[in-house]
Amino acid sequence: MTVTPEQVRCKVPALGWLGVVAVSLGNFMVAFDASGVNVALPAIASDLGAGTVARQWILDAYTVPLCAVLLLAGVLGDRIGGTRLYRRATAVFAVVSLLCAVAPDSPTLIACRIVQGAAGGFMLPMTLSVISRRIGEPARRARAIGVWGVVGGVAIASAPLLASVLVAGLGWWSVFACNIPMCIAALLLLPAVDDREATTRSIDWRGQVLLAVLLSALACGVIESMRGACVVAGFAAAACTAAVAALVWHVRRAPAPMVPPEVFNRPFSVSVVAGTCYQFAAYGSLIVLPMYLQLVRRFDVVHAGRLMIPCCVGWLGGNVIALLAPHHLHRRFLSVAPAVAVVAAAVVAATAATVLPAALVATVPLGVTAGVLASTLSSTAMSLATPGTSGASAGTFNVGRQLGMVVAVAVLGSDALSASPVAAFSTIAGAFAVLGGAAWAALRMSNAQTEDILLRGRDYDRNT
């Protein structure tokens, strides 16, 4: 007999606000380690002797496994319980963060970042799953999810400034070490309970391996092609193509694939493309700006962090706007925000090298639109999901978003783009433009389907 989420909530203690704090800390840490390390990267490279490719892999070694295990985490969460999986992943995250902090060289740091990213990939979906499973009252659950979302936004918005203070005061290692007390607090505030759900879903190991190969080959291919290593990039492209073909074949043939084929209706599939473009552009701006300020303009890490404040405040403000705005405005935001972001990114591209204050002012609307789109794009995409596939659709959308981070590191973290604000922010403006076009197309497809259903209903009424 299948146990419903409502039955699970009846069997386990309700999640109090301390528990919400515990899972929100996990959301904060995963987001902080994705964006805060960008600021510390020049100091890491200087201390460990890391070149451009090593710097890119220090970032992508975290984002690739994080992206790869998101779908697996959902199945494991059902099998062993969301709270239990979150606690175990948090404990691993703490240990590996310590190992990152004491890494003696870049290969060791990259290896530790792989495990840290995988642990983060198991933590992230469970932070929301624990809230959903253990808070039964809809209004209270909505408030808890709102707090969870704002904490994630604060992590992204504050990461550049916090990381710069830590690096300047203690050293780059503190960016990783600061996770340890937060992990301990999360474990203390969230006691272990059994919140498993009876499930017949099996783990699709073959699909999981193919997804990991695809993401790794994609990251490797883009990184190597950007530095002109054509032979290695060619092998990576061949591996990526083979992995895509094998994954498509597997999803169509497997009795229980990790992503059911019915997930990919046309509007939702296009919204996944929009999510990928969003993460590329929004996260990419947080890669390019601190690296440009430190490596090209030669600002010290604290000064660079301070110059990031306008963008960070705008990002936080955008998250608050999206949280407080009525839900019916979300689709309108999708029509306006990408256009504003394109203009803002174009202004940054045109002025960063010559009139830096003007560029920093333009990062405010860039941050606001990124913050607004963070949640409105997700909520709109889920409204386009095939009924009955919410879990698989959410996992697919999140994988698409994280894929944007992987590609952003590989493209925007290269020497050619990170040293040129014109090229980098022009690329970011182009990604926001594609995002706007994809969002418009997805909404138009959805409206056309709705009108078609209504017309069929009227025809049926006339015939009967």
d(CA 109, CA 343): 38
DSSP string covering 29-51: HHHHHHHHHHHHHHHHHHHHT--
| Residue 343 pLDDT exceeds 50 | yes
177-186, 215-224, 332-341, 423-432: least confident range: 215-224
Average pLDDT over residues 443-454: 62
**Class of domain 263-449 (CATH, top level):** mainly alpha
80-84, 184-188, 431-435: least confident range: 80-84
More confident residue, 328 or 357: 357
| Residue 463 pLDDT exceeds 70 | no
Residue matched to tokens 């550049």: 160
Q: Residue 451's pLDDT is what?
A: 47
CB 171 within 8 A of CB 45: no
Q: Residue 201's pLDDT is what?
A: 63
Average pLDDT over residues 19-24: 85
Total Cβ atoms within 10 A of residue 256: 12
Q: Residue 432's pLDDT is what?
A: 94
**Nearest by Cα to 265 from 129, 396, 136, 353:** 396
Q: Residue 362's pLDDT is what?
A: 92
Question: Among the CATH numbers 3.40.50.670, 3.30.590.10, 1.20.1250.20, 1.10.357.10, which is that of 1-189?
Answer: 1.20.1250.20
d(CA 423, CA 241): 28
Q: Residue 454's pLDDT is what?
A: 41
Q: Residue 66's pLDDT is what?
A: 84
Q: Residue 457's pLDDT is what?
A: 43
CB 203 within 8 A of CB 99: no
Confidence of residue 116 (pLDDT cuts 50, 70, 90): very high
Confidence of residue 389 (pLDDT cuts 50, 70, 90): low
| pLDDT, tens digit (0-9, with 9 covering 90-100), for 229-239 | 777 778 888 88
135-139, 269-273, 370-374, 419-423: least confident range: 135-139
d(CA 124, CA 28): 9
Q: What percent of the chain has pLDDT over 90?
A: 20
Q: Which residues contact 440 (CB under 8 A, 6 or more apart)?
A: 334, 335
Most confident of 1-15, 121-135, 179-193, 300-314: 179-193
Q: 196 by DSSP, 3-state: which?
A: coil
| Residue 98 pLDDT exceeds 90 | yes
- What does the mean pLDDT of the chain come to? 81
Q: Residue 198's pLDDT is what?
A: 57
31-40, 244-253, 255-264: least confident range: 255-264
| Residue 33 pLDDT exceeds 60 | yes
Q: Residue 210's pLDDT is what?
A: 83
| pLDDT, tens digit (0-9, with 9 covering 90-100), for 35-66 | 788 888 888 988 888 787 788 888 888 888 88
CA dist 160 → 123, 214, 249, 287, 437 (Å): 22, 30, 42, 10, 30
| Residue 83 pLDDT exceeds 90 | no
**Nearest by Cα to 127 from 156, 96, 87:** 87
Q: Residue 158's pLDDT is what?
A: 79
What 3 state SS string does 261-295 have? HHHCCHHHHHHHHHHHHHHHHHHHHHHHHHHHHHH
d(CA 442, CA 421): 31
| Residue 433 pLDDT exceeds 90 | yes
Average pLDDT over residues 73-78: 76
Q: 379 by DSSP, 3-state: which?
A: helix
